[in-house]
Structures are given as C-alpha cells and as structure tokens.
Amino acid sequence: MRLSIACLAAVLLPLAAAAQQPDSAWQACTALVDGVQRLACFDAWAKSQRAPAPPPEVAAAAPLAEPPTRRGLSLTASDGCRDTRYSELSRFWELEPGADCGTFGLRVYRPVSLDLVNAGTINREPTSDNPRNNATTTLDYRTTETRLQLSVRTKIAQGLLVGRPDAIDSLWFAYTQQSYWQIFTPRLSRPFRSTDHEPEVFYVMPLQPAQADQWRLRFGGLGIVHQSNGQSLPLSRSWNRVYLMAGAEHDRLQLQARVWRRLHESAGNDDNPGISNFIGRGEVTATWHHSRSNLFAATARHALRARGRGSLRLEWFRTLADPGEGPPSGLQLHTQLFTGYGDTLLDYNRSRTVFSIGLSLVEW
C-alpha cells in the first residue's frame, strides 16, 4: 500500500508541476528512471489530454445581392428608355419603371435637324391685327433658305402621384428653338429671318399598359407653354397656352393629341390677335414605325371652329446609321412637307407651303 502511494505520488507530483506548463508535461514523464513509474506517468498524461474543441463553424457567406432590376431590366442609363422590349410610347415618355432613364438627363423632344428649305412664298413684310406690330419696311428675302431646329427635354421629377410596379408618372421641362437662316442672301448679310423660342413644362400620367394587337390609351397629361420670337416691335410675336394631351398606340402606330387654350393678354400687349384662329386650338400627330429604318409622321392642326384654319405637316425619317441593337439612333434623313398657317410666329396669319430635306440627329 505504501509502495502504491509512493508510486502514485512519484507520478502525480511531476505532472502537477508540469501542469503549469502543459507543453512540458510529457517531458516530465521522461525524467522518471523507474520504468513502472514512467509508464504510469505517461498513462496519466494521456488521460489528462482532451480532444481539442472543433473550431466554430464559419457561417456560409451570403451570396452577393444581384443588382437591382425591375422586370428583369437593368436600371442603368444605357437600358430603360432604350430597351426595345417596351413599346414606343413607354420608352419615349418612360411610362414604366423598367423603361425609366432617370431624372435630369437630356433626351430628344422634337427633331434636332438642319434642313434645306424651299417655299412657295416668303413673308417679306410681316403684319398683325395690332397696328403696332406691322413691319414698316420690306426685306428682299429669298424663298430658299435653311432651317435649324434644336429640341431637348429633361425629366425633373417622377413618382409624384403614381409609383406602381407597372407605371410611373413624371414632370418634364422642354425647350425647342427653330431658326430660319437666309444663308443664300449675301446682299442682306445672310440674316436669321426668324427664330422662335418655346419653353414648356408638362406632367405625364400613365393610363393603360401596352398590349399587343390592341389599341391602348397609354397616357394623359397637362402643360403650360410660352412661345415667342424674341424680337422687338414691330416684329415681336408671342403667346402663352395651357394644354391637355393624351396618347394611344397599337403595335407600330401611335396617336398623340393636344388641345390648348390661350392665356389672355390685354389688347394693347397682344402682338398677334386672333392667333388661335390661324395656328389652331388643337393638333393630332400620327406616327408609323414602318421598319427599323423608316418612320412616317403626320401632324394636323385646326382652330376647332366652323371657319377655322390650321396646318398639315408630313414627315419621313430614314435612318442612315443603324447600330443593329436597341432602337435605331444616330443620323437620319429628314424630309418634310408643311402647308398652312404658323410655320413661324411671324407667319402666324400667312399661309405658305414649305418643302424641306436635311439631316436629323437622334439620341446623341
């Protein structure tokens, strides 16, 4: 019994001393001379060892979130309003979240063009029903001239009243400038005969979603527009209007309509009395996308009175540079025939027929 206690003490004492330094515990057993004690020491050391705790499981890394999409479409500016999976009106007015190209980016509004123009007549001495606005001299303008038009728009807000997964409304600002340049009249120092400025603000609300093989009323809206030629008396011309608009489409055919009301001006300040009876109180535009390369458009204006006047504009756009992806873009051949009143503000009360051919730039 005493021998066993002595043996046990001989084994445990070295292990207790080595417990302060776990790495040297097994070395303490090798220092024992007696074989029985050495074996017991190693047995005790082996029993004291515990299997190391398994390392904590590393949580599986969460998959990277996919970039935000709507209806499978990327929300980058390169998609959206250029994605041909959406209809023409959806892309132009960005009526759906997937067809959205964001706010404060420039978009084409009306044709951005440079045209060679020939007209049957030209207004060499503009007149108005207001005596202050009658030209006092006659200028020998030519009937052949050039026309430059710049027209851009930007979306300044969206989701104001409608923000559904399938529809979104928007608020826009647009500016159109049209100039007639007498480039072929050197004896008059090639002046700009007329330049009309037209800023406007309008709101667009989506209505019915697009549906193949069916006419759908796609949007409605309202706006306010100012138009003037920036000249002083007696050639000053200007007016302000508020309007309602709507658009419908069926496959490659779109119809858009506006009706407007002129804002009242006093007789003394009215540069162009009765302008609504000449230029009109409403218009309808029909657009037909015959193919990727050919677009035809017709715009009819009317005074909406029994003896009212108006105008008709026919246009053909032929794409010259087609990238082969998305909607056609780049340079287009632009051919136009206009007849009636209001080709320019100076011509608001003078009818003329104008044929033009030139180049139009789209989605620069």
Which residue pairs, CB below 8 angstroms and at least 24 apart, start in 38-47?
40/7, 40/8, 40/11, 41/11, 41/14, 41/15, 44/11, 44/12, 44/15, 45/15
Indicate if the pLDDT at residue 10 is higher than 60: no
Query: By percentage, how much of the chain surpasses pLDDT 90?
Result: 63
Domain membership flag for residue 65: no
Q: What percent of the chain has pLDDT over 70?
A: 77
Structure tokens that stand for 102 in this block: 């964001």
Distance between CA 41 and CA 25 in Å, rounded? Answer: 9
In this model, does residue 297 exceed pLDDT 80?
A: yes
Tens digit of each residue's pLDDT (9 = 90 or more) over 30-85: 666 666 677 777 677 666 665 555 555 544 433 333 333 333 333 333 467 888 88
Give the model's pLDDT for residue 56.
52
Do 40 and 148 have their domain in common? no
Q: Which domain holds residue 301?
A: 70-362
| 122 and 219 both lie in a single domain | yes
Query: 4 or 79: which carries more pLDDT confidence?
Result: 79
Q: What is the pLDDT of residues 114-125, one digit of tens each?
A: 999 999 999 999
Q: How confident is the model at residue 107 (pLDDT cuts 50, 70, 90)?
A: very high
Domain co-membership, 14 together with 99: no
pLDDT recorded at residue 22: 52
Higher pLDDT, 65 or 224: 224
The whole-number pLDDT of residue 323 equals 62
Is 59 part of any domain? no
My answer on whether 151 and 212 are in the same domain is: yes
Return d(Cα 85, Cα 90) in angstroms, integer: 10
* Average pLDDT of the residues of the chain: 84
Pull the structure tokens for residue 323: 């990238």
Strand ranges (DSSP E) for the chain? 69-70, 73-74, 106-108, 112-119, 144-164, 167-181, 192-206, 216-228, 238-250, 253-262, 282-289, 294-302, 310-319, 330-340, 352-362
- pLDDT at site 330: 78
Indicate whether 226 and 93 sit together in one domain.
yes
Does residue 60 sit within a domain?
Answer: no
- Tell me the mean pLDDT in the region 220-229: 98
Say yes or no: 234 and 119 in one domain.
yes
pLDDT of residue 78: 44
Q: What is the CATH number of the domain that holds 348?
A: 2.40.230.10
- For residue 66, the model assigns a pLDDT of 36
Residues 141 and 36 in one domain: no
- Write down the pLDDT at residue 60: 41
Instruction: Flag whether 172 is in a domain.
Output: yes
Whether pLDDT at 218 is above 80: yes
Say whether both 12 and 135 belong to one domain. no
2 has pLDDT over 60 = no
pLDDT at 225: 98
The total of structural domains in the chain comes to 2
Instruction: Summarize pLDDT for 336-360 with one digit per residue, the tens.
Output: 999 999 999 999 999 999 999 999 9
Whether 63 maps to a domain, the answer reads no
Of residues 301 and 361, the one with the higher pLDDT is 301
